[in-house]
């Protein structure tokens, strides 16, 4: 029995020690008509993943469970409705801001460059989403981050580019992430998204 307890204690200690080792993520993404993403993850003494190739997000493949009348346009419209429903969820934006502040204290952004433009078919929804994002953009500016996000009222879509180098110890972000995921606003948002997706 003592040996089993010692083995379990050693495994827990090893897991904690490994989670305390920083991860370094290099990521580059660009969205025009398609999405191109390149990233590499480093841990301990070298890369965890091989160098990623350019990955372009083309048309979504047909799924067995998809609705017969689903089209790419309808799927995009449903995705926009989900995004707006999430932002309208009471208390969700506050939880996102709190999570962002907690992660900024624990995650080291060695480099961040974001330049994005977005728009919905309904200009009122574009204005609403931009208003919800404004506190986050102000907070990013106060933190000295190079973040630009502009609304497009005359057209819909998402365009932009992201370059970032992020250093984080997994052990210190587990708590804030779990607290965020089990919070009532996030649960309500997940239910709202599920109802729209059904």
Check: CB of residue 95 under 8 Å from CB of residue 131: no
User: pLDDT for 79-118, tens place per residue?
Assistant: 777 777 777 788 888 888 888 888 877 888 778 889 999 9
Question: What pLDDT shows up at residue 66?
Answer: 52
Averaged pLDDT for residues 68-79: 68
Averaged pLDDT for residues 143-171: 86
Question: What pLDDT shows up at residue 60?
Answer: 46
User: pLDDT for 12-60, tens place per residue?
Assistant: 887 777 777 778 888 888 888 788 888 888 877 667 665 555 555 444 4
Question: What pLDDT shows up at residue 142?
Answer: 81
pLDDT > 90 in the chain, percent: 4
pLDDT at 139 over 70: yes
User: pLDDT for 160-192, tens place per residue?
Assistant: 999 988 888 888 888 888 888 888 888 888 888
Question: What pLDDT shows up at residue 96?
Answer: 84
Question: What pLDDT shows up at residue 54?
Answer: 53
């Amino acid at each position: 029995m003592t040996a089993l307890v010692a083995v379990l204690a050693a495994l827990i200690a090893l897991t904690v020690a490994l989670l305390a080792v920083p991860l370094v993520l290099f990521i580059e993404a660009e969205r025009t008509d398609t999405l191109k993403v390149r990233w590499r993850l480093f841990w301990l003494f070298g890369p965890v993943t091989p160098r990623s190739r350019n990955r372009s997000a083309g048309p979504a493949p047909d799924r067995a469970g998809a609705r017969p009348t689903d089209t790419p346009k309808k799927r995009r419209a449903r995705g926009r409705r989900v995004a707006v429903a999430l932002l309208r969820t009471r208390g969700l934006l506050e939880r996102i801001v709190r999570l962002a502040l907690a992660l900024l204290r624990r995650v080291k952004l060695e480099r961040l460059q974001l330049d994005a433009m977005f728009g919905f078919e309904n200009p009122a929804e574009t204005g609403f989403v931009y208003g919800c994002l404004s506190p986050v953009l102000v907070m990013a500016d106060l933190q000295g981050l190079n973040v630009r996000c502009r609304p497009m009222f005359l057209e819909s879509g998402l365009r932009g580019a992201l370059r970032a180098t992020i250093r984080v110890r997994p052990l210190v972000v587990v708590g804030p992430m779990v607290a965020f995921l089990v919070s009532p606003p996030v649960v309500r948002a997940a239910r709202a998204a599920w109802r729209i997706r059904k």
